[in-house]
Structure 1
Amino acid sequence: MKYFYTLFLIFISILSFSQVSKPIYIYDSISKAPIPFTNVIIYEKENIINGFYADENGFVKIVCNENSSLKFSCIGYENKTFEKLFGLSDTIFLRQNSIILKEVIITNSNKYKNLGFINSKKNSTINTFKGSEFAVFIENESNVKTKIKSVILNLTKKKDHTTILKIKFYKKGNNDTPTDILNNRDIIYYLKNKHNGELEIDIDDENIELPEEGVYLSVESLGFIDKKGSFISDQDMWHEFSFYLVDDINNATFTKNNLKANTWYNNLKLRFEEIGQKYKNHPNVSFGIKVYTE
């Protein structure tokens, strides 16, 4: 009897830790349109175990334990959580947030200025990976609210595969970390061709306001897609894509892995010193913004 009881416990243990694969489609609850590039985070006992992105068609294949919890999230939509993968439908509907639109500063000005870490000498680069997010704090030099016209990224991309980037803006929190997201929806950029140097992305239609203090501009790397909008295997491709860095007295860059943790890291200098690269001050990703001036 004891022998069979032991076998039963082993059997239950194997079941509880076995990985299963489940295809899921994610749609808008009202329009029934696919929601592209939704984040799907896998939890076990409140710890993040893994994460996935839906592709351009709202499709994601999840691989995890059947007893794992899941959270679906996308800017502009309410988060949706499930206690277990087991029994989950292959179709998920997300409901749009009830957003109170803020008044946006309207300007007739044709004058702009650049802010951020884009005019300094670029010393080196830092590779990205699926799920990585870099956020840099950009001060508002005039301390006057204004509208952001475009974002400026200094990067290098050595191949023509289409790279998907998610652009976000955060408020500065009490402990100087990125906090509340200012976007009302996802800002997705398709970087299709080879590129080396400055890339300007127009976001005028997004109506993003630069707060008096400043703003965190962040870029999250989602992966590479084919012509049908599906993610492709990318393990050997990330070394072909990286952001330029500048050496600055301000330690303004935060980074995190959205598919593995939800904690910001703020010491790139230490990370580079561990691999033998020295910085006089602090390495910061070379991001900037173009704003309207009076």
Structure 2
Amino acid sequence: MKYTFCNLLLILFVYSGFSQTKIIDVDTKYPVSYATISFGDGQGLFADDDGLFIFTEKRYNDVDSLFISSLGYKDLALSTLNLPKIIEMQADINKLDEVLVIAKIDRKFKTKTIKPYLDDDYYKCWLPTIESEIAVFFPNENDQLKKITSVLFPITLESRDWKKRKRSNADKRKFSTLFKVKFYKNDNGIPGQAMIYTNIVFRVTEKNGDEFELDVSDHDLFIPEGGFFVSLQVLGYTDQNGKLLPNKKYKEIKGRNGMVKIPTNFRPLLPFTNKIDAHNTYIKRVFISGNTWVQFKKGNSIESSLLKTNLNNYGVGINYNAYKDE
């Protein structure tokens, strides 16, 4: 109880010390949840489920512009000078009109699984930061109609005691982390148009074990002819109720040329594998406007210790319904 009370005081202190800005839909006045707020220099943050975020000139004295984006909305650029308390975003009707509505399919199907690749080796893991989005490609092997029902995300837990890390019953470090998931059509080998414009988020804790199954059966996600990408992006730590906290997005370390900003890593770790022949994993820096996807492999100017040991892929799995022909 004492620990919880102290955390509550900290949260109240943080929120009371900074002014909040809210992002809403210009027509419905509903909050735009989990919008991306970029600073144009590779840094940024996210709004929470209520569309709220914290920005002050004192905290970000070198930032003069904000770039705000969210699935299904037109991008917005604002000056930080006299930033309004309420920011209105306009729905992008052209994008929303592209969404294909498929009637409920009532015929026999067979449930199939592409298993995830699990690993509890800390040294084979990607360290999640909020500046990076990871996408994994799933090809469509034939013209059979297929509906994605769930996504299986492998995670690696850390032991409290490093000396006991190889014991399966060792106590794990506690965390409560919020992730955002997106689905993209294949656009000539890279993630393209969004398959749906609904925010899909989930919270994971150490209690979920080494795999998190995300149920997406209600979203009518049918695998496109050219395959699809599913992406994962960490939003930050949450409180015990799943509310996104004002996380510190980077650490400042003194270097030869002054202070250097190093992105903060968030638990859980994401295990990579060398057991997939193709290079199915792509990465993107989310806070850089117009940034493109890069295939995660050697020779693509990516600095990662994972590539040195040929750990090229994040081994996500899926469950799907393969429908029989009428």
Tell me how far 1:137 sits from its aligned partner.
0.7
| Secondary structure of the structure 2 residue equivalent to 1:238 | coil
Match of 1:95 in 2: 90
Match of 1:23 in 2: 20
Match of 2:273 in 1: 246
Of the candidates 39, 45, 54, which is equivalent to residue 61 of structure 1? Answer: 54
Tell me how far 1:161 sits from its aligned partner.
3.0
Q: What one-letter code is carried by the residue in structure 2 that aligns with 1:151?
A: V
CA distance in 2, matches of 1:197, 1:274: 22
More strand by share: 1
The one-character-per-residue Cα deviations of 1:13-35 (angstroms, maximum 9, x if unpaired) are: xxxxxxxx863111222332322
CA distance in 2, matches of 1:121, 1:160: 19
Whether the aligned pair in 2 keeps the contact of 1:268 and 1:283 (CA below 8 Å) is yes
Q: What one-letter code is carried by the residue in structure 2 that aligns with 1:180?
A: Q
Of the candidates 168, 180, 205, which is equivalent to residue 166 of structure 1? Answer: 180
CA distance in 2, matches of 1:93, 1:67: 21
Tell me how far 1:149 sits from its aligned partner.
1.1
Tell me how far 1:232 sits from its aligned partner.
4.2
CA distance in 2, matches of 1:273, 1:24: 36
Q: Where do residues 33-52 of structure 1 align in structure 2 (5 Å cutoff)?
A: 33-43=30-40, 48-52=41-45
Match of 1:205 in 2: 218
Match of 1:182 in 2: 195
The one-character-per-residue Cα deviations of 1:179-226 (angstroms, maximum 9, x if unpaired) are: 211122211112244333222111111122210121011111111122
Q: Where do residues 140-289 of structure 1 align in structure 2 (5 Å cutoff)?
A: 140-158=140-158, 159-174=173-188, 176-227=189-240, 229-233=243-247, 238=265, 240-247=267-274, 248-260=276-288, 262-269=291-298, 274=305, 277-279=308-310, 283-289=312-318
Distance 1:77 1:160, change over 3 A: farther
TM-score by length of 2: 0.71
Whether the aligned pair in 1 keeps the contact of 2:156 and 2:269 (CA below 8 Å) is yes
What percent of counterpart residues are identical? 23
Whether the aligned pair in 2 keeps the contact of 1:65 and 1:85 (CA below 8 Å) is no
Tell me how far 1:257 sits from its aligned partner.
2.3
Match of 2:3 in 1: none
Match of 1:107 in 2: 105
| Secondary structure of the structure 2 residue equivalent to 1:194 | helix
Tell me how far 1:39 sits from its aligned partner.
0.5
Q: What one-letter code is carried by the residue in structure 2 that aligns with 1:53?
A: F
CA distance in 2, matches of 1:293, 1:199: 22
Q: What one-letter code is carried by the residue in structure 2 that aligns with 1:104?
A: I
Tell me how far 1:76 sits from its aligned partner.
2.5
Whether the aligned pair in 2 keeps the contact of 1:57 and 1:230 (CA below 8 Å) is no
CA RMSD of aligned residues (A): 2.9
Q: What one-letter code is carried by the residue in structure 1 that aligns with 2:69?
A: S
Structure 1 gap ranges (5+): 1-20
Q: What one-letter code is carried by the residue in structure 1 that aligns with 2:182?
A: K
Tell me how far 1:173 sits from its aligned partner.
1.8
Distance 1:33 1:157, change over 3 A: farther
Q: How many residues align?
A: 265
| Secondary structure of the structure 1 residue equivalent to 2:294 | coil
Whether the aligned pair in 2 keeps the contact of 1:66 and 1:85 (CA below 8 Å) is no
